[in-house]
Amino acid sequence: MGILKRLFGSKNEDETVKKQTTDAAGHADSVENENEETATETASSKDFDILKYDGVRALRTGQWQQAIDCLQFALGIQEDAECRDYLSQALLHHDEPQAAREQMEKLCTMVPDNALLYLRMAQADFIAEDYERMDDDSNKALSVVEKATGEQADTHVLAQAYYYKARAAMGLGRDEDAVSLLEKATATQSDFAEAYLTHAGMMLKHGDTDKAEADAQRLTTLLGESEETLLLTARIHGARGENDKALEDYDKVVALNPFSTDALRERAALRQQAGDEAGAAEDLSALHEIAPENDDENIEQKMNETYRNANPYGF
């Protein structure tokens, strides 16, 4: 209701405008018209500011639909690059990647040659599983960054562009290209944890546990014994058949995060392989409590596939 009042005004606002018009009646017609236009522009500007503020506040508090509504109304009053950027973020959070990307395309005409914007478009493509377009947007980001020199060259953005291009290659089934691009990303930015983790997953997928272990050691240096690094080392030990070591790592993960569905499911698989039916049943019971929507057949299927495929990452 507040939005409608701001958009279309109220009775009191109408009376105020009438009073302003009456007060101006003694002036020449040209001055009267100028005052009316100024009053209208001022009201519209105020509506825009209020709607934009409400939209940003809703965005920051996770009220995606309200943010979308407010920001769309605001843009109907006045074009604004920042407002359109916020709208694209809200749409992305609301699981509308195509609509978000359309807003970003409009931004590209307002803010050309912006590498970060192309990366955001690649992110939307990834959510939409449009890997061809993701590759294209990543290439555009790379082109912008590679043209820059000296202080203008942003190695972080360059590494991100390599990473998104690698994820696009993975989506297109080009694993060799993906590995090469991930290695470029980590060579460009030596503390790029996500790229190391993805590279390790690719190495596990193709059975190269030594390279995966090198990635794990680098990640442990960067992140310590985090949930991500412990899951990785557990999977490496599992792929090598070192089940006791893998179980120790899974125990540490569950101690850090008792709600880690991956750790519980994968530990259940190892416990079952080791003949620990009671332990496996305990993990499955915990999984049911965390994710009751998963039935027994679905959980057991995923559990059995975990090490049979030697690809817990699903790449």
pLDDT of residue 153: 58
Task: List, in order of start, the domains of the chain with CATH numbers.
Answer: 1-8+48-112 (1.25.40)
Type of residue found at 300: E
The C-alpha atoms of residue 81 and residue 118 are separated, in whole angstroms, by: 15
How sure is the predictor about 93, in pLDDT bands with cuts at 50, 70 and 90? very high
pLDDT at 268 over 80: yes
**249-263: average pLDDT:** 95
pLDDT at 306 over 90: no
The answer to whether residues 215 and 196 touch, using CB atoms and an 8 Å cutoff, is: yes
What global pTM score does this model have? 0.76
Burial class for 233, CB neighbours closer than 10 Å (0-12, 13-18, 19+): buried
Kindly report, residue by residue over 221-231, the tens digit of the pLDDT: 999 999 999 99
Name the residue among 253, 242, 166, 245 with its Cα closest to residue 202: 166
pLDDT at 78 over 80: yes
Q: Which long-range contacts (CB under 8 A, 24 or more apart) does 181-185 make?
A: 184/159, 185/159, 185/160
Share of the chain above pLDDT 90, in %: 70
pLDDT at 52 over 90: yes
pLDDT greater at residue 227 or residue 26? 227
The answer to whether residues 71 and 41 touch, using CB atoms and an 8 Å cutoff, is: no
129: left (phi over 0), alpha (psi -120 to 50) or beta: left
The 10 Å Cβ neighbour count of residue 292 is 8
pLDDT of residue 120: 94
How sure is the predictor about 167, in pLDDT bands with cuts at 50, 70 and 90? very high
The mean-pLDDT minimum among 28-37, 205-214, 240-249, 276-285 falls in 28-37
pLDDT of residue 148: 73
How sure is the predictor about 41, in pLDDT bands with cuts at 50, 70 and 90? low
How sure is the predictor about 8, in pLDDT bands with cuts at 50, 70 and 90? very low
pLDDT of residue 43: 63
Location of structure tokens 């993805």? 198
pLDDT of residue 292: 78
How sure is the predictor about 264, in pLDDT bands with cuts at 50, 70 and 90? very high
How sure is the predictor about 154, in pLDDT bands with cuts at 50, 70 and 90? confident
Indicate the average pLDDT of the chain. Answer: 83
Type of residue found at 205: K
pLDDT of residue 299: 52
CB within 8 A of 292, min separation 6: which ones?
Answer: none
